[in-house]
Amino acid sequence: MTKHLLLCYRRMFKLNKKRKIICKVSILQKYVKSLWNQLVGCCIGKSIKYRQLSRQHSSSSPTTTTTPPSPSGEAVPDGGFNMKCCCDHSKESLEDLVALKICLLGDNQIGKTSFLTKYVGKETGEESFSTTGLNQMDKILCIKGARISYSIWEVQGDLSASTQIPIACKDSVAMLFMFDLTSRCTLKSVISWYQQARQWNQTAIPVMIGTKFDDFVQLPLDLQWTIASQARAYAKALNATLFFSSATYNINVNKIFKFITAKLFNLPWTMERNLTIGEPIIDF
């Protein structure tokens, strides 16, 4: 186990070093683009800059409901800023829409589709679009006066994944690396998914997600501790934020996308770290 982790650290060190260089270039590009947007905005009399949202709290209440209690009986707060679904999907309003892409990667049968369906919802989400090896769903949100469209691409963990990873990862602002908390082999696969994804995208926010937390808490505490420790070590090697989640009980599903939104738009939102075994872990 120790040799395996050391090897992972070495590989991730090289990838992270390259990623930091690319991130610096990306920051410079965003700065230049910001200046250009301001100049264009002054000329046309309308702001086209979306990344700086108002820091004033919205008067409307969020449509996301409070997360139900976890199987252990502990309430899991969903805190943070307000995010509500936009019901106006008319063509006239598309010009004010900020389209962002997110990809989901992981082995088969780990709950990726259930996780995606839980977040998008039957009423608030666009109809899904499926191709061989890919499943794509959209969700439009209103956040502090801006309209955000998340296009979420799920890569199925079958043999076609290698050809679909470039399509899903290209231009994604965040990459969610998912594994089944009750299957350690799917956790080990995260390294391979990460390496393949980074070949096509070096700047997206990395997030590690352990699914089926409701089944995980039924395992013996010593086994929970072992799996949690290994997951935290992998997340650290990938420089990723780690979430334990459950689509069945809606644990940390909305919170993950709130975290991504806060990171992307520099929104003031404090996320609490939770390393308690038996509770949905959040580590960063």
In sequence order, what DSSP letters do the residues of 42-108 get, joined into one string?
HHHTS----SS---SPPSSPPSSPPPPPPTTS------SS--EE-----GGGGGGEEEEEEEEE--T
Q: Check residue 157 and give its pLDDT.
A: 75
244: which strand partners?
210
Q: Give the pLDDT of residue 142.
A: 87
Cα 157 to its chain centre, rounded Å, is 18
The token pair at 107 is 């082995």
Strands 282-283 and 97-105: unpaired
The answer to whether the CB of 74 falls within 8 A of the CB of 147 is no
pLDDT in tens, 17-72: 666 666 565 656 655 555 545 544 444 343 333 344 443 333 333 333 333 344 43
Query: What structural domains and CATH numbers belong to the chain?
Result: 97-283 (3.40.50.300)
What is the average per-residue pLDDT within 166-188? 96
What confidence category does residue 16 fall into, taking pLDDT thresholds of 50, 70 and 90?
low
